[in-house]
Copies of this chain bind each other. A is one copy, B any other.
Amino acid sequence: MCRWLAYSGSPIRMEELLVKRDRSLIDQSLHARQGATTTNGDGFGVGWYEEGEPPRVYRSTHPAWNDRNLRELASGISSPLFFAHIRASTGTAIQETNTHPFRYGRWLWMHNGLIREFPQAKRELVLAIDDTLFPSIEGTTDSETMFFLALTFGLESDPVAAVEQTVGFVEQIGHKHGVEHPIQMTVATTDGQTVWAFRYSSEGDSRSLYFSTRMDALKAAYPESQELATLSDETRVVVSEPLGDLPGAWNEVPESHVGIVQPGADELRPFTPRT
């Protein structure tokens, strides 16, 4: 099981969330508290956007906690929208091409969870990927396969529908292979403007997913915080496990829902796999 974080809002140095805090993502790579595994040492990746540029990614197979380059980059790069992911492999190889976030054009994708019995289902899942997308697959994971299925099903035009169709398809193939609960996931994806964060599992018992509370509410609650004062009211963090212990700072995303962080009011919608 993995850990991930998505940030959207006022540009900040990535180290603020990845390195500095007591329960930063790097801290979580050693000591996750709510995860299925306590160590996430099978590589990590960050993907970030800068003004008018396609996203860039830095990925490594080393544990996040001992990667010096990550600390250099996280202190040097400011971004208004970035993804970070620390990996605990569920079986596929430890290599950069299996490390999240995955990228296609302007899109990033990262996943915590798994497709159960993926080796048995993989061939049929991969066959459903669009011919023109197929050559862009670089790794061998269930997570990247889901990303390319979602792209096949229209991620770029209607993300929620595309992921609903992806999950429905994965469940259909899994059931065909006799898997009772084919999928467990929290997924984040973005086009550089909007972030979609999904929480779902076939068994209805999904891994944790949190949104930061609205900044204006947080600022009102903590008028003395200089740190909060500098962040725009639109700023949001979505995480698999809360960072830090600020009371009231985190809202849990309910089972089978998708949260949408976007300019204007954010949204929380039910998520229903379909075929």
Task: Spell out A's residues near B (CB within 8 Å).
Answer: 30-31, 38-39, 41-42, 48, 50, 53, 56-63, 65-66, 68-69, 72-73, 75-77, 89, 93-97, 119-120, 122-123, 126-127, 131, 134-135, 137-140
Contact between A69 and B61, CB atoms less than 8 A apart: no
* A39 lies within 8 A of B42 (CB): no
Partner of A77, one of B31, B69, B76, B139: B76
Question: How many angstroms from the CA of A93 to the CA of B69 in the assembled complex?
Answer: 12
In the complex, the chain B residue whose C-beta lies closest to that of A126 is: B126
Chain B residues whose C-beta falls within 8 Å of the C-beta of A41 in the assembled complex: 39, 41, 63, 65-66
- Tell me how far the C-beta of A239 lies from the nearest C-beta in chain B, rounded to whole angstroms: 21
The residue on B at minimum CB distance from A61 is: B62
Q: Is B66 in contact with A89, judged by CB distance below 8 angstroms? A: yes
Closest to A47 in B: B72
Residues of B within 8 A of A59 (CB): 68-69
**Which of B126, B134, B140 is close to A138, meaning CB atoms less than 8 Å apart?**
B140
Q: Nearest chain-B residue to A78 (Cβ)?
A: B50
Closest to A87 in B: B66
Contact present for A69 and B58 (CB under 8 Å):
yes
Q: Note all chain B residues with C-beta closer than 8 A to A48.
A: 76
- The answer to whether A66 touches B38 (Cβ under 8 A) is no
Given the complex, which residues of B lie within 8 Å of A53, measured CB to CB? 76
Q: Which of B60, B119, B131 contacts A123 (CB 8 A)?
A: B131
Residue in chain B with minimal CB distance to A121:
B135
Closest to A137 in B: B140
CA distance A6 to B137 in the complex (A): 32
* Least CB separation from A42: chain B residue: B66
**In chain B, what residue has the closest Cβ to A118?**
B135
Q: What's the least CB distance linking A123 to chain B, in Å?
A: 4
Decide: A39 near B50, CB < 8 A? Known: A75-B56, A93-B96, A97-B140: no
Which B residues are CB-close (under 8 A) to A73?
56, 58, 73
Would you give 26 A-B contacts (Cβ < 8 Å), ordered by A? A30-B39, A38-B38, A39-B41, A41-B65, A41-B66, A42-B66, A50-B76, A53-B76, A56-B72, A58-B72, A59-B69, A62-B62, A62-B94, A63-B63, A66-B94, A68-B93, A68-B96, A73-B73, A76-B77, A93-B96, A97-B140, A119-B135, A122-B135, A123-B131, A123-B135, A140-B140
The docked-state distance in angstroms from the alpha carbon of A58 to that of B61 is: 16
Nearest CB on B from A63, distance (A): 5
With both chains docked as a complex, state the minimum distance between the C-beta of A16 and any C-beta of chain B, in angstroms: 15
Residues from chain B with Cβ under 8 Å of A96 in the complex? 68, 93, 95
